[in-house]
Structure 1
């Protein structure tokens, strides 16, 4: 049986209780003389869904990594699906897919932020390689603020093989590269698209780049040469959202 995971921090735990209370095994709130209102709300949510609440002392939280804010939820582990499930998932969609592929994002904060952004942009699924990638740990789940529980995530052994599968299903692959001559605003993103974001600092791997149908960049007007991968992901995904909404609006007129 898999060991339970932990979700820490007020916002992450509240989002989890509101969206997926069945994932929470137990809620731990640091013992204080009087609970602040935000923690009272958490206990009420927990009781509403039949989640056990404990009030351990400060020592209980001493070895917890990250900013826990005196809130720690024991939760059921999340297991990412694999390559075998991906094809069936994509074939089951009844609209043009919007996918996010993260090629070697190893910082759990960035992975969590990308999952949160993907959820907000309406991405159908996020794909990561099993090697050279952050996993679904406590930090990822905290930063994702509930998106780690809602966003379909596929962890694949061979990313190149997965990219080939994606193309065979009629999905165009758009990779991000600073040296590209065309910007993210120059290409068509309203159809079936898989957006590939490279690793922090190094960008996409060579083989990943070779599978891309298009390469795009984000135009930079200042002195910095690149954006954090989670910020860049947000820029690109919401450009796709903008184009899709315009296409949908024009089709209705």
Structure 2
């Protein structure tokens, strides 16, 4: 285990924010899955095996997958079951691209809002329900070193299966903060010093024209519905993403990438 792996997921510097110096409070993410989390695919399972905070219960591997893990010196951490590919197909369905790996694991823990570092960017998702979109957002979040993603316990996909596969390992890199009430969570982010910027087509300014500061929370709404009214009202700023072409709207995962690029560039986080 590296020194990095031994450090806590979040650390607040003394004297910063509310409850400064308090030991980070952890709680188990609300279980919305009957039984363990299902992880499949090379990047997803390899990242889980490399994450000391992820408890692996069971590991199914084809002979080829087991050989590849051994060749790349990836510790399986549990004794794997070597199976034929069709057995994993039966577990997941014929459309799942599992690449010969399937893991059953415990859910990761969810940090509290007040343990988030007061720097960089977090993303807040307002009832984005498509697991492919949330997985793609997670992958982009990992690429931009996002500190966490805040999402609701209800009206959001489970952190398992398709979402985990779409995230391509990012589920192990970007913590998910699960909250009961998004408006209350945004209020708490405001209280501890975050600039909360909602992204909405009706925003008063283009995001590129907004004077941004750290810590920054970018708030994304579901496609079609956008931000809910109370979410919009709780954000400190509501901004839009202007497009020069004839199509003026983006898929929410693409909008997340653009917003992250603008935010990271404006905050000097790109290099």
TM-score range, shorter chain: 0.7 to 0.9
Of 36, 49, 58 in structure 2, the residue corresponding to residue 4 of structure 1 is: 36
Structure 2 counterparts to residues 1-253 of structure 1, below 5 A: 3-20=35-52, 23-30=55-62, 35=64, 40-45=67-72, 48-63=75-90, 64-65=92-93, 66-81=95-110, 85-87=112-114, 89-90=115-116, 93=117, 95-245=118-268
Q: Displacement, 1:80?
A: 4.9
Q: Displacement, 1:114?
A: 1.2
Q: Displacement, 1:49?
A: 4.7
Go from structure 1 to structure 2 and tell me whether the alpha carbon gap of 1:157 and 1:185 turns closer, same or farther (over 3 Å shift).
Answer: same
Q: Displacement, 1:44?
A: 3.8
Output the CA distance in 1 between the equivalents of 2:57 and 2:72.
13
Provide Cα deviations, 1:166-187, integer angstroms capped at 9, x if missing partner: 1111211101011224211111
Output the CA distance in 2 between the equivalents of 1:47 and 1:205.
44
Go from structure 1 to structure 2 and tell me whether the alpha carbon gap of 1:46 and 1:77 turns closer, same or farther (over 3 Å shift).
Answer: farther
Of 131-140 and 56-65, deviating more is 56-65
| Matched length | 237
Report the TM-score when normalising by structure 1.
0.82
Of 4-13 and 132-141, deviating more is 4-13
Output the CA distance in 2 between the equivalents of 1:100 and 1:60.
37
Q: Is 2:37–2:159's contact at 8 Å kept on the other side of the alignment?
A: no
Provide Cα deviations, 1:187-242, integer angstroms capped at 9, x if missing partner: 12232211100012211101000112211111222232311111111111121111
Unaligned residue ranges in structure 2 (runs of 5+): 1-30
Output the CA distance in 1 between the equivalents of 2:38 and 2:260.
29
Q: Is 1:25–1:52's contact at 8 Å kept on the other side of the alignment?
A: no
Output the CA distance in 1 between the equivalents of 2:54 and 2:216.
33
Go from structure 1 to structure 2 and tell me whether the alpha carbon gap of 1:209 and 1:233 turns closer, same or farther (over 3 Å shift).
Answer: same
Q: Displacement, 1:20?
A: 4.8
Provide Cα deviations, 1:37-62, integer angstroms capped at 9, x if missing partner: x7632244576454423321243123
Output the CA distance in 2 between the equivalents of 1:141 and 1:203.
24
Output the CA distance in 2 between the equivalents of 1:99 and 1:18.
23
Q: Is 1:43–1:53's contact at 8 Å kept on the other side of the alignment?
A: no
Q: Displacement, 1:127?
A: 0.5
